[in-house]
Amino acid sequence: MSQKTIIAPSVLSADFSRLGEEVEAVCEAGADWIHLDVMDGHFVPNITFGPPVIKAIRDRTDKVFDCHLMIEPAERFLGAFAVVGCNIITVHAEATTHLDRSLQAIRDLGCKAGVSLNPSTPETVIEYVLDRLDLILLMSVNPGFGGQDFIPSVIDKVARVRTMIGARPILIEIDGGVPPETAPLGADVLVAGSAVFKGGREAYAGNISALRTAADEPRFAALGSRRSWASNQKIVIDPSYI
Ligand code: DX5
Ligand code: ZN
């Protein structure tokens, strides 16, 4: 697990009419990566953007472009996302017949290879491709939209995936519904859209540091027990809680 939690704002919640400026603003506010939610209206019930938009914002920052492909099929488009400057390309295990080949193809393009699992997909589907992976994206919402509620069962999945990957240099990323009070424990990367982009540009830095504090504060580590999630309620983690 990397030392500092990586915060990857999802631009899905940004002001699309000023996307370039939004990318610059959230990077200045402390974002580590930029999370790009590509949706095709087929694999997920929403349509967002593709390579031309990513190309248009690539020179706004040198931060990592973390490209989450919620498209099916994905294989034929991997090169198009690599050539416009995506550093990480993540495909959904549920959206590809030949996951091993897709992951190899991503690495052959010079990008880091990621796989994403929907909340209901067991981690066993990736046990034979672990050595093809640089990142595992665990969905904590059903893909397609921002602003949804966090699905607590992903906390158990993080722990099981952590065990599964052992000492392999694979990052675990959690994506969706991650406002500070539910910043999950044990992930290396947190993706957040509405929790980062809420309140206007002057709020971005505070939103990002609140996420980072919630994820990194050692005292929160003691909250690893599932009990704190069993109620499936949004909890406000207070120091006196432990
Ligand atoms: C959902 C996307 C997520 C989403 C996160 O399909 O993969 O990245 O945009 O947005 P919030 O943080 O608002 O749930
Ligand atoms: Zn995403």
What CATH number does residue 10 fall under?
A: 3.20.20.70
The DSSP H or E segment spanning 212 is helix 201-216
Residue 28 lies in a domain: yes
Please tell me the predicted confidence (pLDDT) of residue 223.
44
Whether residue 175 lies in the annotated active site: yes
Domain for residue 102, yes or no?
Answer: yes
More confident residue, 180 or 198: 198
Ligand 1 centroid to residue 162 C-alpha, Å: 22
Look at ligand 1, atom 1, and give the residue with the nearest C-alpha. 143
How does pLDDT run across 131-185, given as a tens digit for each residue? 999 999 999 999 999 999 999 999 999 999 999 999 999 999 999 998 777 666 7
- Is residue 53 in some structural domain? yes
Whether residue 231 lies inside any domain: the answer is: no
Ligand 1 contact, 12 CB (< 6 A): yes
Residue 38 CB less than 6 A away from ligand 1: no
Q: Is residue 188 part of a domain?
A: yes
Give the separation between CA 120 and CA 101, rounded to whole angstroms. Answer: 23
Kindly give the number of the ligand 1 atom that is closest to the alpha carbon of 176. Answer: 14
Q: How far is the CA of 125 from the centre of ligand 1 (A)?
A: 22
Query: d(Cα 126, Cα 161) in Å, to the nearest integer?
Result: 10
Ligand 1: does its nearest atom lie under 6 Å from the Cβ of 138?
Answer: no
Annotate 18-30 with b (16+ C-beta within 10 A) or e (fewer).
Answer: ebeebbebbbebb
pTM given for the model: 0.89
Measured from the CA of 116, which atom of ligand 1 is nearest? 7
149 catalytically annotated: no
Q: What is the number of domains present in the chain? A: 1
Residue 91 included in any domain: yes
Q: What mean pLDDT value characterizes the chain?
A: 89
Question: Residues near 111 by Cβ (< 8 Å), separated by ≥ 6?
Answer: 81, 82, 86, 87, 88, 89
Span 109-138, pLDDT tens digits: 999 999 999 999 999 999 999 999 999 999
Residue nearest to ligand 1 atom 5, measured at CA: 176
Centre of ligand 1 to C-alpha 196, Å, is 11
Range of the domain at 192: 6-222
Q: What is residue 184's predicted lDDT score, i.e. its pLDDT?
A: 64
Domain presence at residue 121 = yes
190 lines ligand 1 (CB under 6 A): no
Phi, psi torsion values for 91, nearest 5 degrees:
-110, 155
Ligand 1 site, residue 113, Cβ cutoff 6 A: no
